[in-house]
Amino acid sequence: MKRLLSIAPEWVILSAGIMAAFHVGKLAPAIPVLQSDLGISLVEAGLLLSLVQLVGMSSGLVWGFSIGRIGLRRAVLLGLGILALSSFISGFFSTSTPLLVSRAIEGMGFVLVVLSGPGLMRALVPAERLNISIGWWGAFMGFGAGGAMLLGPFILEHLHWSYWWWISALFTLLALGWVKQAIPASVDSEARSEMQHGLIAHLYESLSQVLRKPAPWLLAVMFAAYSGQWLAVIGFLPTIYNDAGLSGLVVAMLTALVAIINAAGNVLGGRLLHLGWQPERLIMLVFALMGLMTWITFSALFAGQVGWQFAAVLIFSAAGGIIPAILFALAVQRTPRSDLVPVTIGWVQQMSAFGQLSTPPLFALVATWVGGWHLTWLMTGGLSLLGIVLAWRLSFAR
């Protein structure tokens, strides 16, 4: 126990982010089971996949401001608690509608954890290793979603899907206990949790400070362009592989590897920033590579060439992982004031959530309309091109 409590704070914070992302990824391996048990359509599956981002999309800025008031540590604990409770209750549902509602509630917990992580790192991690730590923080989605995609099929093969939701809740409670014991409560000593005179004026001032600057806008839309296509491609991989006739175990291993390797890109992104690489040029290079890889993955020219397609998806996910590391670091660095880090991260996360909420159902709708996934590369290519243009513009907004 003492050894766990002595671990550097960035690893404890990262564990909380991983558990939040675990709930995003837990649905993907369950989609075929839910389609069979609950009769949900492919478009409804896309909504289930993305609804966890509803809260972040609709109110990420306000949540970022609120976190600054209630305290970063308390926000993480509250977020993990919401995720655990919602996941536990969801296991008792037998229809798709309440499951959709619970995914939206889980989004509240996800947002509380994700918006607090970078601020906690800035408060607790020495400046000389902050970029590297932020790079590791960017890996929370790959590790968490990938871990869920790897573990989920093994559990779903032997147990009802409800047990998978309950096991996810148990893991989250363990992470909550670790954060509570390992992160000192003193980190929230300056947080003002009480509603006080001038709160609305302070909210307006904080939001205007962030939104008057071009950099937060550019970073936020770039994050949406990245995260939307990443979640759509990775989230539907089990369905795509099942349609191709691959077995459950093979699907689990391939999908998890694609998600987890994204975390390697996150770590690499932090290292490259630490070594002095120019971030905007790096972002443009990565977006171009992502567009090329999705063309190989989905184009009719490579239909049936599973080896080439899987290699392309791996490169797409690994290279793409560099982008969150850079964008989180730039959001921390280019916030107007240090106390506005959660607000800036909230805005970036709000647009990221918009991408993740809107893109999977759109991809599913187009795939249903045209009778396959062969036009998906046009949508991912368009998002990558948008990212390149915005990164070029960001280089002039220093």
Tell me the DSSP string of 245-269: T--HHHHHHHHHHHHHHHHHHHHHH
Which of these ranges, 96-105, 290-299, 388-397, has the smallest mean pLDDT?
A: 96-105
Looking at per-residue pLDDT, the higher value among 58 and 322 belongs to 322
Domains in the chain, CATH or no CATH each: 2-182+199-394 (1.20.1250.20)
Say how far apart CA 225 and CA 77 lie, in whole Å.
30
Please state, for a pLDDT cut of 70, what percent of the chain lies above it: 83
- The tens digit of pLDDT for each residue in 90-131 reads 888 767 678 878 888 888 898 889 888 877 887 787 777 776
Assess whether pLDDT exceeds 60 at residue 258. Answer: yes
For the chain, how many residues are written?
398
Distances (CA, A) of 184 to 66, 173, 179: 20, 18, 9
Could you tell me if 174 and 36 are in contact, meaning their C-beta atoms sit under 8 angstroms apart? no
Mean pLDDT in residue range 150-160 = 85
Mean pLDDT in residue range 203-225 = 80
Say how far apart CA 287 and CA 284 lie, in whole Å.
5
Report DSSP state, residue 236: T
Burial status of residue 110 (CB atoms within 10 A of its CB: 0-12, 13-18, 19 or more): buried
Assess whether pLDDT exceeds 60 at residue 169. Answer: yes
Assess whether pLDDT exceeds 50 at residue 216. Answer: yes
Provide the pLDDT for residue 31: 79
What's the mean pLDDT when you consider all of the chain? Answer: 80
Say how far apart CA 131 and CA 271 lie, in whole Å.
8
Looking at per-residue pLDDT, the higher value among 355 and 85 belongs to 85
Provide the pLDDT for residue 53: 66
Mean pLDDT in residue range 217-245 = 81
Mean pLDDT in residue range 49-63 = 64
Mean pLDDT in residue range 189-207 = 53
Of the candidates 174, 196, 167, 140, the one whose C-alpha atom is nearest the C-alpha of residue 349 is 140
Please state, for a pLDDT cut of 90, what percent of the chain lies above it: 21
Distances (CA, A) of 205 to 175, 190, 223, 286, 348: 35, 19, 24, 35, 18
Report DSSP state, residue 2: H
Which tokens hold the place of 312?
A: 């392309």
Report DSSP state, residue 128: G
Provide the pLDDT for residue 59: 58
- Reported as a pLDDT band with limits 50, 70 and 90, residue 197 is very low
**Angle in degrees, 0-180, between the axes of helices 322-333 and 341-370, rounded to the nearest 10:** 150
Provide the pLDDT for residue 194: 39
Helix H or strand E encompassing 335 = none
- The tens digit of pLDDT for each residue in 313-369 reads 899 999 998 998 888 888 877 777 766 777 777 788 778 878 877 887 788 888 888
Assess whether pLDDT exceeds 80 at residue 304. Answer: no
Which of these ranges, 175-179, 230-234, 243-247, has the smallest mean pLDDT?
A: 243-247
Provide the pLDDT for residue 398: 61
Could you tell me if 297 and 316 are in contact, meaning their C-beta atoms sit under 8 angstroms apart? yes
Give the torsion sign (CA, 244, 246, 251, 257).
Answer: negative
Mean pLDDT in residue range 10-29 = 89
Burial status of residue 334 (CB atoms within 10 A of its CB: 0-12, 13-18, 19 or more): middle
Provide the pLDDT for residue 374: 77
Provide the pLDDT for residue 289: 95
Assess whether pLDDT exceeds 70 at residue 45. Answer: yes
Of the candidates 152, 358, 150, 374, the one whose C-alpha atom is nearest the C-alpha of residue 243 is 374
Say how far apart CA 209 and CA 344 lie, in whole Å.
9
